[in-house]
Amino acid sequence: MSVVRETVEGGSNALRDAAPADLAAAARLAVLVRQAALVAAQAAELHEAAKAELTALRARVAAGGADPDDLPDTCHEHRPGRRAILAVNPELRAFVEARFGRITFTAIEKAVADRFGPGVVSKSTIADWHKKNRSRFK
């Protein structure tokens, strides 16, 4: 490093007297400095682009009148396929969940068939719902 400082301060005599290894180190350092300057310039460009995108997004949200964080949770539950009948029908869900822990899944299936009609839910549907939402029923 001292050779680099001497080269800058001492002029061409220091370059003539420097060892080849020191000159190679100085050249590598110069390349690294140029690369660092390029990275800093790219980072500044990316920062400006991100600020512009954020401003545009905020303008779109303001025009639409809704902040994405204020949207109801159901907007975030977009999943492929059909939703479970217990997720769609709140009356059926309340009926089934009220019986969890008191009677068996088979007995719940029979109670649902008596109240809502046969074939509305199966024992496996009830068991899957219980397993998926188990933490709520403790």
Domains of the chain: which residue ranges? 2-64, 79-137
Confidence band of 103 (pLDDT split at 50, 70, 90):
very high
- The full DSSP string for 30-67 is HHHHHHHHHHHHHHHHHHHHHHHHHHHHHHHHHHHT--
Q: How many residues does the chain have?
A: 138
Average pLDDT (19-46) is 88
Q: What is the pLDDT of residue 41?
A: 92
Write down the mean pLDDT value for the chain.
81
Contact 136, 93 (CB under 8 A): no
Enter the pTM of the model.
0.44
CA-to-CA distance for 89 and 78, rounded, in angstroms? 18
Which pLDDT tens digit goes with each residue over 35-67?
Answer: 999 999 999 998 998 898 888 878 777 776 655
pLDDT of residue 73: 59
Q: How many CB atoms lie within 10 A of CB 81?
A: 5
